[in-house]
Amino acid sequence: MTDETLTTMARYNRWANARVFARCLELTLDAQLSQTVVETLGHSLMVEEAYLAVMRGDEVPRLRAVYDGQELAWQAERAATIADGYDAMLAGADDAFLQGEFTLPWFTAPMTRREGVLQALLHANHHRSQVFSILGERGHAVPDLDYLVMAQGPP
């Protein structure tokens, strides 16, 4: 049996990432702001991707070289691919799998896969908020990322 909460969080993460990238791609940003957005969202995606790899039992990928120099459109596509990976992993995840532990090279304490999914997805929320805060401060309208907006679907 899958974990409905984690599956819902992964669905929300996909939806929220799509909204952030769609809005950022609509805007004409100055070079400094564009770099900040690309770096922040790229960092967030690298964390999502690294956690996914380790939780699936793969080696930690060397993602910095993959992400360096990539544009927002590439990142948006990568976000969808990463979301597919979380969906696939969670679709077959039972409680024993989610309670299984793993250790990341940058943390000394092991965590469960359940905790890993929570960390990766909540971390993404943190960085989406940073991007939208910066855009809002610069006078750009940003869409609502509240869960209820997603849950209600299109108007």
Structural domains counted in the chain: 1
Burial 59-95 (b: 16+ CB within 10 A, else e): eeeebeeebeeeebeebbebbeebbebbeebbeebee
Task: Please give the pLDDT value at position 2.
Answer: 62
pLDDT per position as a tens digit, 76-108: 999 999 999 999 999 989 999 999 999 888 888
% of residues, the chain, pLDDT over 90: 72
Higher pLDDT, 89 or 58: 89
pLDDT band with cut points at 50, 70 and 90 for residue 1? very low
Q: What pLDDT does residue 49 have?
A: 95
What is the rounded average pLDDT of the residues 109-137?
94
The domain in which residue 44 lies consists of: 4-152
CATH number at residue 27: 1.20.120.450
Are the C-beta atoms of 18 and 76 separated by less than 8 Å?
yes
| Residue 149 structure tokens | 């907006």
